[in-house]
Structure 1
Amino acid sequence: MAGVSLKCGDCGALLKSVEEAQEHAELTSHSNFSESTEPVLNLVCTACSKPCRSKTESDLHTKRTGHTEFVDKTSEATKPISLEAPKVGATAEDSVTATTNQDEEMVVPEVDKKILEELESMGFSAARATRALHYSGNAGLEAAVTWIVEHENDPDIDQMPLVPANTKVEAPKPSLTPEELKAKQQELRERARKKKEEEEKRTEREKEKERIRIGKELLEAKRIEEDNERKRILALRKAEKEEERRAREKIKQKLEEDKAERRRRLGLPPEEPSVSKPSPVVEEKKSFLPVRPATKAEQMRECLRSLKQNHKEDDARVKKAFQTLLTYVGNVARNPDEEKFRKIRLTNQSFQERVGALKGGIEFLEICGFEKIDGGEFLFLPRDKVDMAVLNSAGSELDSAIKNPFFGVL
């Protein structure tokens, strides 16, 4: 009788083809095979059409699914064994398809859609989940995961199953103990969890890169804005200096015109540009004339001009100092009998910020009659030294310094 199977001399397993024998050898490292006249069983479950190739495999299927009815189709599938080497790229599904009727329509089997969605959410492909549900008889999520564990190394595990009207043959896989099955299930869950964590980490890295990019763009925009602000300030200062230069030129021209007008009124000829200054002899003669001492008003004007020159880079602060001095002088002039207006604490923070910190501020008050007392802690104007004329002159000079835009320019 011709041989219908290959028998493993190491474990006694029956195999349908040379290809199955090669797969068995790769899985078990067995190498002792011989041709046998004993056929491989083909027990087909009547409930789900799952083929079982041994009594042990049918018992395991019954334990998992509860299906007990099987049809023995061994005689229909048995054929002489071919000892030729399998073609490259051939699969178990190809050999099964070759035995089926070529005119028979192949369709995707119907499976439980809800369980299919749960399997896909665990990270399994639609083809693998569909195949697992079909061959586990749609018995539930746990049965499908168990089937995936047992057939994880199948070459066609991720191919969508196509079944004919009657049956679909699957290559058997070695059964697993309950402990091994539980370990495999845990491994699959752990793999799905790690895959999800890796995806979350990748998404977080992308978000971090985007945050860094946006931060760099904001810093660059801020730097450009600061550069533009510096350029604007430099242009403003340049314009102010140019305006100051024009003001000086205008004042100088006005002085020249006034000088020419005085010479014209005195009947003197116009001054030639090449005329030199008076000789030292003339100046020596003038030195014998009595020199008129500077008045209080002139001293005040010179003090204010010096104050503005010393702090010309901060015009707003100078103007505030002039207004503060005008307030002090005005309070004394309106209320000369009130001591609180005639006494100023030099350590007062407001006074220091407005007047004391500016060179010339305290000197102006001393010209008005204020004196330092108590070791220099206070400025005090005694009642008997209040001179209304001096205070009025001080007010006039301060008012002129505040309103005249060219005050202190020259």
Structure 2
Amino acid sequence: MAGFSLKCGDCGTLLKSVEEAQEHAELTKHANFVESTEAVLNLVCADCGKPCRSKTESDLHTKRTGHTEFVDKTSEAAKPISLEAPKPKDDVEMEEAGGGSSTQQEGEMVVPEVNPQLLVELEEMGFPKERSTRALHFSGNENLEAAVSWIVEHENDPDIDQMPLVPVSSKKPEAPKKALTPEEIKQKQHEVSVISLHNAVEMLMNERIRIGKELLEAKRIEEDNERKRIMALRKAEKEEEKRAREKIRQKLEEDKAERRRKLGLPPEEPAAAKPSPPPVEEKKSSLPIRPATKAEQMRECLRTLKQNNKEDEAKVKTAFNTLLTFAKNVATNPNEEKFRKIRLTNANFQDRVGKLKGGVEFLELCGFEKIEGGEFLYLPREKVDMPVLHSAGSELNSAINNPFFGVL
């Protein structure tokens, strides 16, 4: 299959003709070219009709004008590249000569000749060949800056992307090519690379924006889950308070009936008594916050301590705070033996915790063991269980702050 483009083996640039390959070689010093079946793109903007020869050029056009619809006419414009040597100009003129050729050329319109080196540089910057030719022709065909300025000023012209035509008689003689210095070549290559650098920076910024949005979404989901967990905990606390009020109401009813019996009054008629609401089934929380079995045993110890000393609220609160201090010291400093060893015969300990039923049992649930004939409570370092200590702290905080704790 015939090639539809020439591909530079050094930089991968696709070129539409042998002339473009020669100009590319003169500018970049690349000499490795092969035929390619991949045609140079011909993407025509559906809004303004501007042709674009590459995806990069179409992206730049979209960014400048906002036009996003392009029609691919590559297959219509693609023609195989002929690698045969062109015929001499004299032979072409003799073939075309045939009676009255001079009168035929008088009204003929041709494409004006422009500096091929400047034309290649404009095309490498992303401008189509027609626009580059028109800019060089009307800007005096002198330098690259004047051509670029002309394109910017006439960007909205309706014929900006049409190849300019001039009469044969007004065709200017070919201007001598001006050799570029190495510094100028580097400068031109830098200008061409600016577009690619800009596209790379834009892609990087878009990727950062996408990652930022994903992080915000993950944070929002985490906050929603935390909010649901807190709502479930509050709901469980309200249900516990409700059950506590019901217990208190039933206790008041029993005390009232006992007082009537002691006073010799007849019991209230069953019809007059208010029907008790159906018992509320206790709902267990589905949140795996702490070990359920040991937490229930700790709560039962604290309830027993409060029930047996309900006439002395200060003593109960002192016991709870003392137990909380023991658990907090061990959890904060697990390597300190002085926080893991308690003398049972200590007068202060006995007055605050030891004499109260449920206090020593609570410490044993935290991991303390009786040693030396029951004189000390000791928690070995290897048996320090942080989840159990945290659970103990939660139960003690609930017992201290919840006024209904222990009435169930």
User: Which category of TM-score, normalised to the shorter sequence, fits these structures?
Assistant: 0.3 to 0.5
Structure with greater Cα Rg: 1
